[in-house]
Amino acid sequence: MTKVTLAKGLNMGLRKAMEADDKVLLMGEDVGTLGGVFRITDGLQKDFGEDRVIDSPLAESGIVGTAVGMAMRGYRPVVEIQFDGFVYPAYDQIVCQVAKLHFRSQGRIKMPMVIRIPFGGGIGAVEHHSESPEAQFAHTPGLKVVTCSNPVDGYWMIQQAIAHDDPVIFLEPKRQYHAEKAELDESATPVPLFSSQLVRHGSDATLLAYGPTVKTAMKAAEAAAGEGKSLEVIDLRTLSPLDMGPVFDSVRRTGRAVVVHEAHVNLGLGAELSARITEECFYSLEAPVLRVGGFDTPYPASRLEEDWLPDLDRVLDAVDRSLEF
């Protein structure tokens, strides 16, 4: 057992995946010599060589587009987009090619590609470095979208995503990269990639969170416990496909659900979750499903980000509104 950060867990997971399959390649801006601006690929070029850990020219469409060709040639490219806000030059390749090639080719072409994107805010950065674009990808058939909230999931999920035969958008909560460490048992059996996990038991309401907001939700549950409210927390982990089983089970017991994400509320994941919960758990609901998220404005300058991002107080406020409904 070792204690690792999320950054380290991902780094170890990437190394494992590269050891396990020599078709696995990494590509992106500054991923080689520098080890990535967040050091997630630290040391990998040194150990696996420049053919397998590729510093790319500064062009995201180029990165993803050439990864498509490499995947067609039998490789398993893992590309890094340096920051969430810089994925858009590659958006056309992702949405029109990566997502659709399997369908277009009647299943003859596989796209076992992982697109790693550090996402979310709270790091005091300038514009385009703090965004949450998950809904844009989850809305695109042909892509799978997952996100890890902790070091242990980072370690396992990246390996599972790489081993998966469909393209996976892999979202990494950058604020957590170098935050708390967790015990990693490399001999454990991981939970399946496309599954949601109940991470805290409770009986009064269910908090649904993923990526960076799992921590917020856990803190909120802790604080609520002090006030005699028992909150259940689910880490969704997979955003497309959604794993609604654990969510329905929980909401049928608690009768209340609050979704927490950093992304804009309008047409965010919360809207889909709310619709599905309403469709399946209507008679168990004691209150409408509530959503707490970023406001429907562009991400603000960083001195306002803690106001803009859903925090413990805003989550608890929503919980109170749900309980009082």
Ligand X SMILES: Cc1ncc(C[n+]2csc(CCOP(=O)(O)OP(=O)(O)O)c2C)c(N)n1
Active site (catalytic) residues = 129
> With respect to another protein, which residue has the nearer C-beta, 164 or 219?
219
If one counts every other C-beta atom within 10 angstroms of the C-beta of residue 324, the result is 7
> With respect to ligand X, which residue has the nearer C-beta, 75 or 170?
170
What mask of x and - would describe binding to ligand X in positions 18 to 57, judged by CB under 6 A? -----------x----------------------------
> With respect to ligand X, which residue has the nearer C-beta, 35 or 255?
35
Per-residue CA distances from 86 to 30, 122, 160 (Å): 14, 17, 25
Q: Which of 313, 300, 296 has its CA nearest to residue 122?
A: 300
The answer to the question of residue 126 lying near another protein (CB under 8 A) is yes
Parallel, antiparallel or unpaired: strands 168-173 and 182-184: unpaired
Cα separation, 49 vs 52, in Å, equals 6
The answer to the question of residue 219 lying near another protein (CB under 8 A) is no
The answer to the question of residue 127 lying near another protein (CB under 8 A) is yes
DSSP per-residue letters across 128-197: TSS---HHHHHTSTT-EEEE--SHHHHHHHHHHHHHSSS-EEEEEEGGGTTS--EEE-TTSPPPPTT--E
The answer to the question of residue 177 lying near another protein (CB under 8 A) is no
Among ligand X, another protein, none, the one that 195 touches (CB under a kind-dependent 5 to 8 A) is none
Q: Which of 198, 190, 215, 179 has its CA nearest to residue 311?
A: 215
Q: Which tokens sit at 295?
A: 């406001």
> With respect to ligand X, which residue has the nearer C-beta, 28 or 77?
28
Among ligand X, another protein, none, the one that 295 touches (CB under a kind-dependent 5 to 8 A) is another protein
> With respect to ligand X, which residue has the nearer C-beta, 60 or 262?
60
Among ligand X, another protein, none, the one that 302 touches (CB under a kind-dependent 5 to 8 A) is another protein
Subset of 143-162 contacting another protein (CB under 8 A): none
The answer to the question of residue 86 lying near ligand X (CB under 6 A) is yes
Among another protein, ligand X, none, the one that 34 touches (CB under a kind-dependent 5 to 8 A) is another protein
* Torsion over CA: 80, 81, 83, 84 (sign): negative
How many residues can be counted in the chain? 325
Subset of 277-296 contacting another protein (CB under 8 A): 295-296
Residues in the interface with ligand X (CB under 6 A) total: 6
* Residues 290/321, Cβ–Cβ less than 8 Å: yes
Question: Which of 56, 82, 150, 216 touches ligand X (CB under 6 A)?
Answer: 82
> Roughly what angle, to the nearest 10 degrees, separates helices 312-324 and 213-226?
60
Cα separation, 102 vs 265, in Å, equals 31
- Cis preceding-peptide flag for 241 (omega within 30 of 0): yes
> With respect to ligand X, which residue has the nearer C-beta, 80 or 272?
80
| Interaction site with another protein (CB under 8 A) | 29-30, 32-35, 37, 55-59, 61-62, 85-86, 88-89, 124-128, 266, 295-298, 300-305, 307-308, 313-314, 317
| Interaction site with ligand X (CB under 6 A) | 29, 58, 60, 82, 86, 89
